[in-house]
Structure formats: C-alpha cells, structure tokens
C-alpha cells in the first residue's frame, strides 16, 4: 500500500515527459531529474532521504526535451545527464559542477530524437549513448572520448524501422558486444542492430566478472579432478638400500 510522501506532489516544469534518479549533489540521497517538454528545461529535485524533495534551479536545454539519462559522463565522480531534444535535433550534455548545478552543451544527432540509452559501447570505460531519431528512421551511435565530448561511431547513423521511439542496449547474440534494440511504432516491430565488426560500431568488451569467475571455478574443478585421478593410478615408489 502506498501513500503520498510529505509535500507530494512536487512541482516540475510544463509537460514533464521522462525522469531519471541519481545522487546529484553527493549527499547520499537520491535526487530526481524531469524533462519538461514545453518549458524546454530539466527540473532538478533534491531528495532529503525521507521521500521529500526540494526544487533546485531548472537546467535550460534546447527545444522539446524528451528522454533523460543520468551517469558520470566526464569521469570526475559527479553525476551528469543527457537529454534528447525532440525539436532541436540534438542531445543536451549537462555536466555537473559538483553541487547539482550544470554546465550544458549540445551534440547534433538525427531528426526529431526521442529515445535514449546509455552504456559503454566501445569497451573503453566511458559512457556512450544511442539516440532514436523519430523522423530520420535511424539511431545515432555516439562515442565518448572520456571528457564528455561525443562523436558519431563508424557506421552511424544506423537504419531502423519507421518512426523509432525507444532504445535498449544489451548483448542479444551472446558475443559479448553491446547490441541495440529499437521499437518502431509505425511498422509495429523491433529492430535489432547487432555489432557486425569491431571497426564498424563497437569493440569487444571485457567479459562480465561472473563469467570470469565461472570459468575460473571450472578450471579449478577440472584441475582437482585430474589430480585425484593421477593419484589413484600412480604406481607406488619403493626405495631400496644399496
């Protein structure tokens, strides 16, 4: 059973569309980000750890923000965010100054970007992103240089079905590369964009820790079994005096 927290509902901008959660000011409490489609900004609500929030200064973006994702984009330990701008044909890159205020720039993508997904696409340890371009019928694959400067990957933009909306990233074919799933609402289907070669879009990423540990356990188990078998079949060594 649920009930409203103290102060809920909390005010945002005009026509909020999507949200993301992260600790934006480093106090150990979860905060909230909301894209406001009509007021062309992102609301920042700072949590106090009890379910209540205080509004910080909204972050201006370009026209018609839709999706928002939060992550440390420049490797400085603060949580930044990205927002697709539906009418601006770009993605806002908002870098945290360390106190939940942000310095913004933008990077061009396709026409009418909507969906957004983040992850390490090229295995270099930096957060990259994929934007679904609703009017272009493509996804833009944007690689981070480590300082939150983004550039199109080789082979990007990638064609999808008609009117792509939402994006998800995962290893769909089991080759340990990150692939892309995109829903297309005019063709009623999902496009799966698999990595075809390391030079095309993505590089091979390291195996997840659980796979490495599993392989190590299997190797140890095999070595122990071989040792036990050898001990069983070994001929005893006898010594005799000269």
pLDDT of residue 177: 84
Radius of gyration of the chain measured on its C-alpha atoms? 25
The answer to whether the beta carbons of residues 160 and 180 sit under 8 Å apart is: no
Q: What distance in Å separates the CA atoms of residue 176 and residue 178, rounded to the nearest whole number? A: 7
pLDDT of residue 88: 94
Q: Would the pLDDT of 242 be above 60?
A: no
Q: Which residues neighbour 15 within 8 Å (Cβ) at sequence distance 6 or greater?
A: 36, 37, 38, 39
pLDDT of residue 187: 87
Q: What distance in Å separates the CA atoms of residue 107 and residue 113, rounded to the nearest whole number? A: 12
Q: What distance in Å separates the CA atoms of residue 104 and residue 95, rounded to the nearest whole number? A: 6
Upstream peptide bond of 9 is cis (omega within 30 degrees of 0)? yes
* Strand residues in the chain grouped as ranges (E): 16-22, 31-36, 41-47, 53-55, 59-60, 65-71, 80-85, 90-96, 102-108, 113-119, 128-133, 138-144, 150-152, 158-159, 164-170, 179-184, 189-193
For the residues 104-111, what does the mean pLDDT come to? Answer: 97
Q: Would the pLDDT of 118 be above 50?
A: yes
Query: What is the three-class DSSP state of 159?
Result: strand
Q: Would the pLDDT of 222 be above 90?
A: no
Tell me: the pLDDT tens digits for 136-190? 999 999 999 999 999 999 989 999 999 999 999 999 888 888 899 999 998 899 9
pLDDT of residue 25: 96
For the residues 83-111, what does the mean pLDDT come to? Answer: 97
Q: Which is it for the CA torsion 131, 206, 76, 51, positive or negative?
A: positive
Q: Please provide the size of the chain in residues.
A: 242
Q: What distance in Å separates the CA atoms of residue 128 and residue 124, rounded to the nearest whole number? A: 10
Residue 170 C-beta-side C-alpha neighbours within 13 Å: 7
Q: What distance in Å separates the CA atoms of residue 23 and residue 36, rounded to the nearest whole number? A: 20
Pairing of strands 113-119, 128-133: antiparallel
pLDDT of residue 223: 52
Of residues 201 and 4, more confidently modeled: 4
């Amino acid at each position: 059973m649920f009930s409203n927290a103290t102060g809920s509902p909390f005010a945002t901008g005009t026509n909020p569309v999507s949200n993301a959660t992260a600790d934006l000011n480093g106090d150990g409490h979860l905060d909230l980000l909301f894209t406001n489609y009509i007021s062309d900004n992102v609301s920042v609500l700072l949590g106090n750890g009890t379910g209540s929030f205080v509004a910080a200064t909204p972050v201006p973006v370009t026209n018609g923000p839709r999706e928002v994702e939060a992550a440390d984009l420049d490797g400085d330990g603060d949580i930044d965010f990205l927002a697709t701008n539906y009418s601006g044909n770009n993605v806002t890159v908002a870098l945290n100054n360390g106190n939940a205020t942000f310095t913004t720039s933008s990077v061009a993508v396709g026409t009418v970007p909507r969906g957004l997904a983040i992850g390490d696409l090229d295995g270099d340890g930096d957060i990259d992103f994929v934007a679904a371009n609703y009017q272009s019928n493509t996804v833009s694959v944007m690689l981070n240089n480590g300082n939150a400067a983004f550039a199109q990957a080789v082979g990007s933009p990638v064609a999808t079905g008609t009117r792509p909306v939402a994006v998800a990233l995962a290893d769909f074919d089991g080759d340990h590369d990150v692939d892309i799933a995109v829903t297309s609402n005019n063709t009623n289907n999902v496009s799966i964009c698999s990595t075809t070669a390391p030079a095309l879009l993505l590089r091979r990423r390291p195996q997840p820790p659980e796979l490495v540990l599993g392989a190590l356990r299997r190797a140890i188990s095999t070595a122990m079994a071989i040792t036990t078998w050898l001990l069983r079949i070994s001929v005893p060594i006898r010594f005799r005096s000269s």
